[in-house]
Amino acid sequence: MGGRQREERESWRNTILAGLANYIDAGSIVAGAAGLALWAELFGLSSSFVGLIGAFSSNAISAGIGALIGGWLCDQLGRKRIYQWDLLVFAFGLLWIIFAQEAWMLVVGYVIAGLAVGADVPASWTLIAETAPSRRRGRHAGSAQLLWMLGPVVVLMLSLALSPLGVLGTRIVFAHLLVVALVLWALRRRMQESTRWADAKDEKASISVSGFRELLQRPFLGAMLFLTGMYGLWNLMAGTNGFYLPYILRTVGDQSQAMSVALQAGSFLLVGLGVAFIFMPFVDRTNQRAMFMVGASLQVVALLLFAVFPLSLSVALGYVILLGVGGGFSQQPFFQLWSGEMFPTLLRSTAQGLMFAVVRIGLGIWSFFVPAITAAGFHTLAWILTGFVAASALLGLLFAPSNAGKTLEQIQDEQRPEEEPRFVSASEARRAASPR
């Protein structure tokens, strides 16, 4: 019993330390969003330059490139090397933002920070999937998503409290993320390498790996297309909401800076509550497709409010409530869970990095046009975003997997062609012999 308790504590420790990557990822995105209007006023930024910041920030292109490179390196060199050192690069990028005196310094800082946090995401999500108990893998994934929501809530509350300070308040918010990144880097130095990856690398378990080529073949290509489409379409909406909502509420809805930030904080808080009280307790023992569809449908209704009605405070409140609650048990947490399950060990991070790259780069291209679309007609933007989420929900309805309670090896074995022999690694044999 003592050994199992220690194993459980170690598993949760790994999950928390890995999941804090979500905190700084989301925190850096929302910190930029909360201060975007202030930066625009300080430096006299045009809508095109605002779009440039959104496109190349940690919300989009730079994070996608970082994930692509970092995910591949995770499978080649190990998870530990990536998740230990990328936070120092992230901290370096934040220094450019904190001390920015010109608009170009903001872009440099966002690009560097985005590359680093992008590399951390596949490393962290992979580590959580590989170290969590099979019957609680969804709960562990949910805890990482809870940290993803905690980052924006803390950042937005700080932004709200510091709003009287203007741009100085935004600099302080980024300084808090710098401190978190350095503390997390120090704590991660004691973490161990994933035993699943170490055993697979030693024994060449499952398949011979050369990189991206295997992911473009059966059975992995179908999983890649489904997950990228489901998450990518939704992320076009979520990225717009996460980075531009305060900007839209101020420029279109005539809300104050404080009210705009408070509404977005409330949205993220509700997502966190949805994760904590719906996703985490039930995901490992319920119909995942049904859960996904309920959450996705609530988000479609939320977006219809923006599309149909004028952007009043009451409409904004309804949007925040429905989008927040539904987001707690739909595309984002299920993408993390399913993307960690549907690929073998030596391709897991590469697959997540590639998908994350496509999603974030696509968001970056889209983000460049958001300010111009908003200026031309906000309701047009709202209808487009509604279509994105509806299409994402349809993909989930048609292709969502059902892997609750299965080990990663069982899932991998189900994908294997019948003529290919079953290989049992040493780590899997140990897990099979040890009762859960």
Average of per-residue pLDDT values in the chain: 84
- 363: Cα separation from own chain's centroid: 13
pLDDT computed for residue 53 by the predictor: 77
In the chain, the number of structural domains is 1
pLDDT beyond 50 at 426: no
**pTM to 2 decimal places:** 0.83
pLDDT beyond 90 at 355: yes
> Residue 84 falls within a domain, yes or no?
yes
Contact partners, residue 349, CB within 8 Å, separation at least 6: 70, 71, 72, 74, 75, 79, 122, 123, 126
pLDDT computed for residue 421 by the predictor: 42
What DSSP letter does each residue of 162-210 carry, written as one string? TGGGTHHHHHHHHHHHHHHHHHHHHHHTTPPPPHHHHHHHHHT-SS---
Count of Cβ atoms closer than 10 Å to residue 293 Cβ: 17
- Report percent pLDDT > 70 for the chain: 90
pLDDT computed for residue 176 by the predictor: 93
The domain of 223 spans 2-189+211-417
> Residue 200 falls within a domain, yes or no?
no
> Residue 379 falls within a domain, yes or no?
yes
* Mean pLDDT along residues 150-166: 85
pLDDT beyond 80 at 28: yes
- pLDDT, tens digit, for every residue of 189-222? 888 888 888 888 877 644 445 567 888 888 889 9
- 101: Cα separation from own chain's centroid: 30
CATH number at residue 358: 1.20.1250.20
Separation between Cα atoms, residue 250 and residue 267, nearest integer Å? 16
Separation between Cα atoms, residue 291 and residue 286, nearest integer Å? 8
pLDDT beyond 60 at 25: yes
Sign of the C-alpha dihedral, residues 133, 135, 140, 145?
Answer: positive
pLDDT computed for residue 358 by the predictor: 93
Separation between Cα atoms, residue 387 and residue 236, nearest integer Å? 10
- pLDDT, tens digit, for every residue of 115-155? 998 899 898 899 898 888 888 899 999 998 899 888 888 88
Instruction: Provide the angle, in degrees to the nearest 10, between the axes of the packed helices 2-34 and 36-43.
Output: 40
**Alpha helices, DSSP H only, in 35-136?**
36-43, 47-56, 61-77, 79-98, 103-131
